[in-house]
A and B are shown apart, each in its own frame.
Chain A
């Protein structure tokens, strides 16, 4: 089955700096890669996703890049703010056939220091 590795497990940055979280996946058939943000005591919520026919997607201060050949994808947050502090999860799934499994990485605790 799919295996998703996420690094780093913790990340501390100064406000205004950029943060990058990286994930690798094992199943070359995976074609959907979402990122979820989980604030302390809250539920995970989708912040951005990318499909395998796209190399990069941007939404204001966040962007995701995908390298299908290397089977890795990354989340980039620019101009970080204290409210970006949370746990971020990457995930991978594939459509069609076994379209039932969303495999998550173990998460990255991002702390943005004011």
Chain B
């Protein structure tokens, strides 16, 4: 089954404790991206990757890191999480940039206390 898989689905952590949210797709898509969703603000892009070893900042990259060592995986790293990073995070992939359908993962709800 074609899918984008994120883990974990839910995470509660403390300020400053490094964490990684994993994202994996099995559709051989070149393009992957991370979004955060906050009430009243919609979906905002954090980082994107156009291919292996090619990543760039989106609209709200501060406090986040990403890597793309393999085509299928695009982890999101929070080196020192803060409470303002409490949010719902979505990973997405698409076959040819963002002018084709984006397939979203099931989301990761992160709470930083």
A residues contacting B by CB (< 8 A) are: 1, 6, 9, 31-32, 34, 36, 42-46, 49, 51, 89, 93-95, 99-107
Contacts and interface: CB of A to CB of B under 8 A. Distances in A.
A107 B42 contact: yes
Contact of A89 (B43, B50, B59, B107): B43
A67 B1 CA distance: 37
B75 interface: no
Given A43-B107, A106-B40, A100 B48 contact: yes
Interface in B5-34: 31, 33
B113 interface: no
Interface size class of B (residues with CB under 8 A): 20 to 34
Given A100-B56, A101-B58, A106 B41 contact: yes
Contacts of B40: 9, 106
B42 A100 contact: no
Given A43-B104, A45-B104, A104 B99 contact: no
17 contacts: A6-B42, A9-B40, A32-B98, A34-B101, A43-B106, A46-B101, A49-B101, A95-B99, A100-B31, A100-B50, A100-B56, A100-B97, A101-B98, A102-B98, A103-B45, A105-B42, A106-B41
A94 B99 contact: yes
Given A43-B106, A44-B90, A102 B45 contact: yes
Across the A-B interface, give the 10 residue pairs with the lowest CB-CB distance, nearest first.
Answer: A99-B97, A102-B98, A106-B42, A95-B99, A32-B99, A43-B104, A93-B98, A104-B43, A104-B42, A46-B101
B81 interface: no
A95 B44 CA distance: 19
Nearest to B102: A102
Given A100-B97, A104-B42, A46 B102 contact: yes
